[in-house]
Structure 1
Amino acid sequence: MLRPGMCLLVGALLAAFLGEAAGTTTCFAGNATYPACSDDTACAGGSCTASVGCYCVDPITQCLPSSNVTCDSSTTPCCPEGLYWFPNQTCCSEELNCDPACVTGKETCGYADGDAVCQCNNTAYLHANRSRIAPTVDCRGDVMTVSISKCLLERFQYSASNMHLLENNRTECSGPSYVDIVNNERILFKQVPLQNGWCGTTFSVQGEKVTYTNALYIPPDFDLPIIISSALNMSFSCTYNMTMQTSLQTVLHPLIGTVTLPAINGTGTAQAIMAAYTNDAFTIPYQVGDELTVGSPVYIGIMTTFTDGDNFTLRAERCVAAPSNASYDTTGVPLITDGCALNQDVNAQYVSNGETLEVRFKMDTFVFQDMPEVYIRCDVRLCKKQTPDVCKCSSSRAGRSGGATASLSIGPLDLSVSIDVNSGSSTVVSSLAVLWSSLLVLLSLRLF
C-alpha cells in the first residue's frame, strides 16, 4: 500500500502526464505587472479591444484575458509580450505556442521577432546529404509545380525566402507560391504557368510534343557569418502532348481572336479563343506570312479557359462566312447551323462540337464573286451537361441550358490579291487571304 505522500506524488505525476497527453499547457496566473483583466482591485476592470490588446482601465497596464473578459485571437493580440495565446484553453502562457503546429521531429517552436514560429530542427538534418537538394516537378494541367524541402535548404544555409525563377523581373517570379506539409516535412512550392517568357520560361517542340523549361535559383544566406554553399541553379521542365492551345505559342504571329464568354449562373467569366490551323490534328497554327491555295482545307479551333469539363462543354451554335460584317448577311455562307456543319459546297464539316471544352471544324477556302472582304462570325456558349448528347449538334436549343451566347467575329478580311474566280485556276494568296489577308480581329459580345 502506498503512503499518503507517495499517493500525492503519483497523482501529480499522473496528472502531469495526462495533461501533456491531452495537449494542455500551464496558463499564466498573472502578477503585479500583468494582472487579470477581471481583477477589480489590481486592474479596476479591464477589457480587450481588436487590434490593440487587453488593458486595464488605464491605457498603460496590460492585463490577461479571463473567463469574464474574452479575447478574439483572430483580430486581437491577446497576450502581453513574452506570453503566448493558447486558443484551446483561452489563456496566455509562458510556453511557446506555434499555430499551426510544427512538424514533429523536424521542427521546433521558437521565438523570432516577437512571435512564436516553427524553426527547423537542425539536429534532424545533421547527417543529410547535399545531393538530396533537388526539386520535384509536378506536370499537370496548364501549370508546372516545382517543390523543395525548406529545412533541407536551411541545413546547408540557403536563403529559401530569396529563391526565384530564371528571370526575376516581377513579384510573381520570387519566393515560394505556397508552403505545405508533405510526408511530415515542410515543403516550398513554386507554380509556373505554361506561358512562353513567363519569368524566363521557354519551350521547344519535337514532333507532337512541346517541352516547357525554367530554372530555380536559390542563393546562400548572406546574413550568416560563414558561407558554406554556392548558389543553386536547378533547371526543371515538363513535356506535354501538343494541343490546340499550347501549339499557339510555337509560332510568333498566330491568327487568333478572343472574346469573353457570359457568366455561368450569374457568376464567373471565361475567355474563348479562336485560331486557324493547317493540319487536321489542330497543332500547326497559321500565322501572318503563310500562304494558302484556294480550295485547300482550313481547320478552325475554338477553346475556352473555363476548366469545368465535367459539367460543361463549349458549343458553337452558328458560324457564317459573309462579305460584310452585318449580322448574318443574307449573302453569307452558313458553315454551322444549330451546332452542325451543313454546307457541302465549301465542304464544311464539324469535327467536335458540344462534346468537350473545344470546338473543331474544317472548311475548304473560297472567295465571293466581286467581293473584296470576308467576315467569319461564330456564336459560342458554354453548355451544361445534363443528359447524354444534349449539347451535340442533333439536339434542339430548347433542350440545352448554360450561359448566354457570345458572338465572335473575325474581319474585315481584305482580299487584296487579284483573283480570277471564273478562270478555274488555282491562285496562291498570302496569309489566309481567301478568308482573311490581314489579321484585324473584331470581337463583339452579343447576347441572345
Structure 2
Amino acid sequence: MKTFLGIALTLCFLQIALAVVDLSPPCASDEYLDNGSCACNTSMYPVTNTTQNPSPVLQCLPGVMVLTISRCQLEAMGLNASSMELQLNSSCTGTRGISANNTAQISIYATTKLGDCGTNMTINNNQVIYSNVLVIFPLLVGNSFYITGNFSQDFSCAYNLTMQVALATTLHPVMGSTSLAVPAGVGSVQVMMAAFMDDSFTVPLTDAQKVFSIQDPLYLGLITPNLDGSQFSVHLNRLYATATNDSNAAQEYDVIVNGCPAPDLSPIVTVQYNGNGIEARVILKVFMIAGASELYLFGEVGICPGTCPDTCTIW
C-alpha cells in the first residue's frame, strides 16, 4: 500500500499600499515648479536696461568669504545663475538656497586661504586682505542667442591683525571667545582663550570641575581655529588681569608684556610657545589681587605673516 504525504500550502496574498511621495524640491516665492524643478518667475524682476549689473551681497566671515545674489534677478538680466564661479574655476561654483524672505538665491563660498579657488592675499601693516573674482556667464535664450555678455566683479575682505580676547575667571575659569566685528567688506578672525585641567591642554575646565587656590597651575590656551596656519601665526602680545569683568578697568595688572612674562610675575608665568602657529600656550600659577575676590584675564592678540619674530618687542 502506498502512502501519499500531502502538503497543504496556504497562499497569503499581501496587499501593499504605496504612498506617493512628492520629491520635487521646495520652490521659493519667485519660482514655480516646472517638470520637477524650480524655474524662475522672471516677470517679478522687470529689467528695462539690459546693461545694468547685479549687486551681490558680500559677507566677510571668520575663515570664509560669502557672496550671495538673487537667482531669479540674475536670470531676468540674462545671466545664467547656475554658471556662477570664482576666478574662472569651474570647481568653485554657487549653491542655490532660499533666503529669509523666501526668494531664491545663489551663494558662493571662498575660504580665506591663498590659492583656494584662485584667492589672492596681500598684507599691510594692520590687515590681511583676501581677494577673488566672481564670474557669471550669460543665459542662452531660446537655445539660440545671448542678450548680455559675461559679468565679472572683483571682491575682497580685510581681516584685522590685532584684536582682544578675554577669559573670565572667578576662582573657576571658563572659556571666552571673541570675534572682532568691523564694517561691511571687512572681516574678523575668531579667537578663543580657554583654561585647561592638564599640561597637554586637552581637557577644558568648566565651572563645576575646578575651584582654584593660590599657586594652583592654570593652563591657558589661545586658539584661532579659522586662521590659515600655512600663512599666519597667532601671538599673545599682552595678558593682563583685573578685579572686574571690564577690559578697560582703571587698574590693570600685567601678566605677559610683549609676549614675555611681566617682571613682577615672571616666577609664576611660563610662555610655553607663542607666535609659531594657530595656537599659543601659557602656564601660570593662580594669584589673587589684594582686596578682590574675583580675577579676570584679558588678552591682546596679534597675527603675524608666517611666524612671529622670536622677540618680546615685536609690536
TM-score by length of 2: 0.49
Which structure has the highest strand share of the two? Answer: 2
Larger Rg over CA atoms: 1
TM-score by length of 1: 0.36
